[in-house]
Amino acid sequence: MALGFQRLRVYFDASNRRGLLLPDRPVRLGDVIDDYCPRCRLLLNHDVASLNVGLVAKTTCRTCHNTHDYRNAEAPPKRPTKKQLEKQKLFDEVLAGMGGGGAVPAAPVPTPAADEPAPEPAPPPPVRKKRDLWAELERIRKK
Ligand SMILES: [Zn+2]
């Protein structure tokens, strides 16, 4: 019994809310609707400023009073930031280096002839010792 009453109430609340959001009458000049304001860069309340064949053509932002074309209450897609563009560029460079289509062929390994001595392996790169400034100072003093 109590449950049925609650269900009935919820039904009425929902119908009221739907009635507020979607009026059955056509949009008129001066109506308040949501739209994206390019100056405020936000979805805000707008007044309908002009209509074209029953459809909203221009709206005026109720916050900054900027009149602009109706944008269907949709924010434009975000432009990538400079940092994101740089990151994408680097990413593309790396991908190009890995070689998807234009793969760089590996250098052929030369096979040493039997009478030729095998080429010496390249010496390991010199390990840079950390400079001990105190030891260097002592050495200079001794000179
Ligand atoms: Zn605005």
pTM: 0.45
Copy the structure tokens of residue 143: 């000179």
Ligand 1 midpoint to CA 85 (Å) = 28
How many Cβ atoms sit within 10 Å of the Cβ of residue 43?
14
Measured torsion, CA atoms of residues 30, 32, 35, 41, in degrees rounded to the nearest 10: 90
The confidence score (pLDDT) of residue 142 equals 87
Neighbours of 51 (CB within 10 A): 16
Interval between CA 55 and ligand 1 midpoint (Å):
21
Q: What distance in angstroms lies between residue 10's CA and the mean position of ligand 1's atoms?
A: 36
Please give the chain's pLDDT, 143 residues, in tens. Answer: 444 343 333 333 333 443 344 557 889 999 999 999 999 999 999 999 999 998 999 999 999 999 999 999 998 888 888 999 999 999 999 999 886 555 555 666 666 556 666 667 777 777 777 778 888 888 888 87
